Structure formats: C-alpha cells, structure tokens
C-alpha cells in the first residue's frame, strides 16, 4: 500500500500530466487537423497544412484551438491516472529487483486499462466539443450544440443514455497497447543508454520519448481512427 500511495508515484503522475498538457498545447492545431482527417473522409484536402489553412479560412484564426480546454482537462486527468497507476504497479511488482521489458509491457497494459475505463467519458465529450462548429463535407455528421463540458455530459446521458459515454471503449482498450508499447521501448532504450553512462540528459530523455512514441503511434494509428469515428458518430446517421 505504501508503494501505491508513495510520494514518488504522485510526482510521476503530476509530471506526466503537466508534460502532456504542455506538449498538447503547443501541437494542438496538428491534433485538430488529425481529427478532421480521421472523421471527415469527404474532405478534399488530405495533408495537414492544407487542412489547417482550410479550417482557418472557413472557421477563423482560432478555430484550430477550438475545444482546447476540454481536451487539456481530459489529457491532464488521463495522464495523471496512467502515470500514477504505472509507477505504483511497477513499485509493487519490481520491489527492488531489476525491471525487464516484459514487466514494463504488462504494467503499462494494466495501467492503460485502468486509465481507459476511468477516463473514456471525458474523451467522448471532448471529441464532440472539439468538432462542434466545424464545417464538415460529410453530410451524415449531425451537428451538436453543447454549452460546455457539463452540458455535454447532461445532453449525452439524456439523449443517448449513460452507456454512450463509454462509446469507443473497445478500440480504446486495444489502444492500451499504445502507451504499453511506448513505455516498453522507452524503458528499454533508457536501460541501454544507462549501461554506457551514469545519467541521462534532458535531450536524451526527449529523444528516447519521441522515438518510443513514434513507434507506438505508427503501430496503433488505424485503431485511433476507428476510435475517433466511434466517439463522434454515436448520434449520426451512420450508426
């Protein structure tokens, strides 16, 4: 129990949450373009920069940052839960022993499952809020009119039932392999570098993290597309 409630687990959780919020804020327009490309297959523009230019031209200069607050709130909660669970489970399991790639993968997977089950409702709401007001080419997409996070929760539960908040859970559970794969490669690369040096620099950590995330995202990207479509299209004519 001491490992679960440890100061170290809390520090990792807060650091993970703050780091993810900072990164998402910087690259939020790119995430907006990604989401549009995933859910609006009838859009003629197929490249990131063309989609962003199109969004700014049709919807305004700040349109790429639409839905920033709910996304950041969800991301902060999600990464706090994930990092806290990951480091707590790792401390409980390893207990002074040398960690292995296999253990990192299992711990990452379990932490991801806990994260998905607890935070999927937040991601369903933020996906809809982020796309609200967007000009879609796909006529099957039914526009929403949410006034904020709380109102979105209220309308979804009222109109679609509470289970709708967990729509897209199955692909999300499959996507648990994304952070699990990421942490497996991250921890593995870190251990290899630490064999050659006493301490890693900030640049080392950044590069290792970027490489690990790139590998995990490439492997699981098709599932991310399915996940985005399911979260948005609960209320559309497609399903």
**Helix spans in the chain (H):** 7-39, 48-59, 68-94, 101-131, 149-160, 169-174, 177-194, 202-232
Domains of the chain: 7-235 (1.50.40.10)
For residue 3, pLDDT beyond 70: no
The band of 9, judged by pLDDT with boundaries at 50, 70 and 90, is: low
The band of 235, judged by pLDDT with boundaries at 50, 70 and 90, is: very low
Quick one: which of 169, 163, 135, 150 has its CA closest to 69? 150
DSSP annotation of 142 reads: P
Residues 6+ apart with CB under 8 A from 227: 168, 171, 172, 175
The band of 237, judged by pLDDT with boundaries at 50, 70 and 90, is: very low
Summarize pLDDT for 92-110 with one digit per residue, the tens. 876 666 777 777 778 888 8
Q: What is the mean pLDDT of residues 134-151?
A: 75
The per-residue pLDDT for 151 is 92
Summarize pLDDT for 61-76 with one digit per residue, the tens. 988 888 888 888 888 8
The per-residue pLDDT for 162 is 93
Quick one: which of 85, 124, 158, 122 has its CA closest to 231? 124
The per-residue pLDDT for 108 is 81
Rounded CA gap, 192 and 170, in Å?
Answer: 34
Q: What percent of the chain shows pLDDT beyond 70?
A: 87
For residue 179, pLDDT beyond 90: no
């Amino acid at each position: 129990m001491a490992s679960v409630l440890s100061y170290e687990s809390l520090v990792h959780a807060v650091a993970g949450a703050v780091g993810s919020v900072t990164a998402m804020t910087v690259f939020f327009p790119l995430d907006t373009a990604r989401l549009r490309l995933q859910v609006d297959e009838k859009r003629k523009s197929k490249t990131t920069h063309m989609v962003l230019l199109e969004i700014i031209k049709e919807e305004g200069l700040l349109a790429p940052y639409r839905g920033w607050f709910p996304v950041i709130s969800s991301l902060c909660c999600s990464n706090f839960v994930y990092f806290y669970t990951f480091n707590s489970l790792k401390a409980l399991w390893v207990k002074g022993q040398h960690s292995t790639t296999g253990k990192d993968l299992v711990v990452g997977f379990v932490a991801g499952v806990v994260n998905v089950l607890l935070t999927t409702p937040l991601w369903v709401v933020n996906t809809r809020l982020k796309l609200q007001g967007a000009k879609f080419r796909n006529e099957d997409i039914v526009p929403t009119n949410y006034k904020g996070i709380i109102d979105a929760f209220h309308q979804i539960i009222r109109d679609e039932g509470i289970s709708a908040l967990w729509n897209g859970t199955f692909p999300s559970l499959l996507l648990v392999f994304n952070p699990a794969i990421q942490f497996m490669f991250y921890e593995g690369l870190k251990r290899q570098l630490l064999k050659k040096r006493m301490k890693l620099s900030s640049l080392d950590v950044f590069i290792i993290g970027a490489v690990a995330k790139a590998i995990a995202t490439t492997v699981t990207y098709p599932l991310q597309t399915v996940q985005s479509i399911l979260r948005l299209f609960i209320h559309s004519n497609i399903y």
